[in-house]
Amino acid sequence: MASNNSTDQTLECVSGFIPTFPVPLRIVEANEKPGAAYARNAGVLAAGGEVIAFCDADDEVVDGWVQAAWDALITGLDVVTGYVHGYASQIAGPDGTEILRESHALRVPVPTCNCAVVREAFLRLGGFDESFNRYGHEDSEFSIRARLAGLRIGFYPPMQLRFSATEDLMTLSRKLFHSGQAEVRMWVRHPEVFPNQNDLKSVTDRFGQWVIKSVRRPLLMKERKHVRQGLTSFGNVVGVLKGKRKGWGNPELIPPANRK
């Protein structure tokens, strides 16, 4: 378990499971940088297995999840994901039926709340981009690099997880706002996939249309989907402005010397 400056009782809780956990369990202090990308990279570097499986702290895997991840990867896949109960954007249904067309493949992320990857392939890509140090899109960006590099990515229905949606309004608002900014960073990293997205006029027009729609139809503000769109769109605007003022810097991947 990688702890990224945890301030709640997570460390104490996990420590209590160490003596009786069915497999070796240890805590990795990943405190040098903020963000899930850095914490996950630190966890992978500390792990010794050939396969790495990721899930988020607030979600619940179903019985047989680890076995399902292993079964999928030993078929020759490099990266695998499965069905996430309660998740809005799915690659396929629980029976494996395709939901999104293949033309969308580069835009559909393998969500880090439910995925597994061959460690060697993960390190070859440099892991997650640690410049994504706030909430959102580090998994989307990794998925794009994996597909562009020709990694074999698959969907395995038995690898299932129950997603826990964020209910607190302030927390959700903050996550969506940061996700909107992170989305711009992803556009900048991959203009070949997202041409003309990092454009101030485009994002301000889109946010302006959302504001006009909200004024004309005020009842829409009671719909969570509409509010989510607005917060993300506003995050896009702020992200583009920040990028123009400060730039986005270079990707922060695991240094080649550490990819062992």
pLDDT recorded at residue 92: 56
pLDDT recorded at residue 256: 92
pLDDT recorded at residue 93: 57
> Letter for the amino acid at 254?
I
pLDDT recorded at residue 106: 47
pLDDT recorded at residue 132: 95
pLDDT recorded at residue 230: 96
User: How far is CA 250 from its chain centroid?
Assistant: 19
Q: Is 154 helix (H, G, I), strand (E, B) or coil?
A: strand
pLDDT less than 70: residues of the chain: 87-109
pLDDT recorded at residue 29: 85
CA nearest 52: which of 254, 251, 252? Answer: 254
Handedness of CA 108, 113, 118, 122 (dihedral sign): positive
pLDDT recorded at residue 96: 53
Rounded distance, CA 16 to CA 46, Å?
20
CA nearest 200: which of 212, 192, 188? Answer: 188
Rounded distance, CA 98 to CA 90, Å?
9
pLDDT recorded at residue 149: 92
pTM of the model: 0.87
Q: What angle do CA 237, 241, 245 make, to 5 degrees?
A: 170
